[in-house]
Amino acid sequence: MRVLDGPDKINMTYEPLYERFEVLAAGGTRLGVKFIRSGFLAQGDRPELFFFEINGEEAVVGISGASLARFESGRHRLSREQKIDVAGRWLKRQMEAGKPLNSGSLYIQDDELANLAIELNFTQ
């Protein structure tokens, strides 16, 4: 949870939606998902990485650093909690579609990032 202070000192709390959630996987199995930690890769375009546990297994969702910079240009920066929600929403969508949980299907770039931000109402 993050407290945001505005110019009038009004506290607004952003409650993350995807730190813990359940997914009805493509095969009909209900799976529990939990956010574990985040970090970034210090190479390439410096993607941000979000680690989730799915029934004891670990999955990593990456957000392209270059795509994130382009998205945030002219907008406010996404908070850590908002990035967790972007990654968690993408992971849920991919699991529901039966996609493999690998870097090919769990890496978020320009169009996906913009669409997820719209879905989650992070477009200000």
pLDDT in tens, 15-43: 789 999 999 987 889 999 999 999 999 99
Domains of the chain plus CATH, in order, are 16-119 (3.10.600)
Residue 12 — very low, low, confident or very high, per pLDDT cuts 50/70/90?
A: low
Does 3 have pLDDT greater than 60? no
Q: What is the pLDDT at residue 11?
A: 52
pTM of the predicted model, to two decimals? Answer: 0.86
Does 2 have pLDDT greater than 80? no
Burial class (CB in 10 A: 0-12, 13-18, 19+), 34: middle
Q: What is the pLDDT at residue 124?
A: 63
Greater confidence, 64 or 8? 64
Only one residue has tokens 């009038």, namely 8
Q: For residue 8, is it left (φ>0), alpha (ψ between -120 and 50) or beta?
A: alpha
pLDDT tens by residue, 32-72: 999 999 999 999 999 999 999 998 999 999 999 999 999 99
Query: Under 8 Å CB-to-CB from 61, ≥6 apart: which residues?
Result: 49, 50, 52, 87, 88, 90, 91, 106, 107, 108
Beta bridge partners of 22: 32
